[in-house]
Amino acid sequence: MEKITKEILKETFPERPKEKYFKKYDFGLLIVIGGSDFYSGSPALAGMAAFRSGVGMVRIITPKRAADIIASFSPNLAAYPLEGKWLTKKHLPILFEMTESAKLVAEGKVAVVIGGGMGRTKETQEAIIEYLSKIDVPVVIDADAIYAVAKKPEIIPGKKFLFTPHAYEFFVLTGRKVYQLPLEDQIKIAREEAERLKTVILLKGKPDIVTNGKEVAFCEAGSPYMAVGGTGDTLAGICGALVARKIDPFLAAKAGVYLNGRAGEIAAQKFKDGLTATDVIEAIPEVLKEI
């Protein structure tokens, strides 16, 4: 079993040669699908974290109220507004079209982050399932999208999915409880479920556990001050940025959980109980300087 350290970042963030010309899509295009009429912050946090983690471009797809708010956060964020208060099946043609156009413009370096702030209405959950069952790009599945996929796990095998559940979301996805179990048992159960589902699971906890069903790694980076809304969204965004660059989901999960955790440690040194998710995002460049 591997302990994840900052050495993992050398594999995922190599020095860019100065003599070579790059364009933004060389470093991937990330589509963030999330948010609803009430929850607008989640997709914005994922998008901002992805930019700080080196992705070339982020496109956020979210209901109109959330899109308007997100567009006001930063000129870096491109937010496409969907009609209505939450995602439904009527939006699927737009999602499929934007996914396919992203594949063309970024020459295949595309990934999706989905789930944050979407809600669990029946029509939203059904739309998530249909979308995920028909696309062929890597996807980081978080929050409400975990609940959706749990209802139809047969869509998982053969897909490049990366799940980022906390203990209860892991229970929803697998039916197995890991909360407060000994670490050895958590590792065993996480590995078994990743093997059964044929996917990558990043089980958030203390420590975080990453497994593809064969290999297992754990990460002790992080801080108790990260127990605040939005730090799971930053993790999803970081992982999304890495898989958009065609990094294997298992490696992306290992690097992403370390980067998020270490950024949280740096932010906690300054803010302690006042830490917010945006503080974690702003600390990401400090971690990259440590490579």
| Domain annotation covers residue 180 | yes
* pLDDT tens per residue across span 142-177: 999 999 999 999 999 999 999 999 999 999 999 999
Q: What is the pLDDT of residue 139?
A: 98
Report which of 235, 243, 288 is spatially closest to residue 266, judged by C-alpha positions.
Answer: 288
Q: What is the pLDDT of residue 32?
A: 98
Q: β-strand 208-211 against 200-203: which pairing, if any?
A: antiparallel
Q: What is the pLDDT of residue 14?
A: 96
* pLDDT tens per residue across span 167-214: 999 999 999 999 999 999 999 999 999 999 999 999 999 999 999 999
| Domain annotation covers residue 216 | yes
| Domain annotation covers residue 17 | no
Domain that holds residue 200: 25-286
| Domain annotation covers residue 11 | no
Q: What is the DSSP letter of 24?
A: G
pTM, 2 dp: 0.98
Cα–Cα distance for residue pair 218/198, rounded to 1 Å: 19
**CATH number for the domain harbouring residue 236:** 3.40.1190.20
Please count the structural domains in the chain: 1
Report which of 165, 170, 290 is spatially closest to residue 239, judged by C-alpha positions.
Answer: 165
Positions of the chain with pLDDT under 70? none
| Domain annotation covers residue 56 | yes
Q: What is the pLDDT of residue 225?
A: 98
Does residue 114 sit in helix, strand or coil?
strand
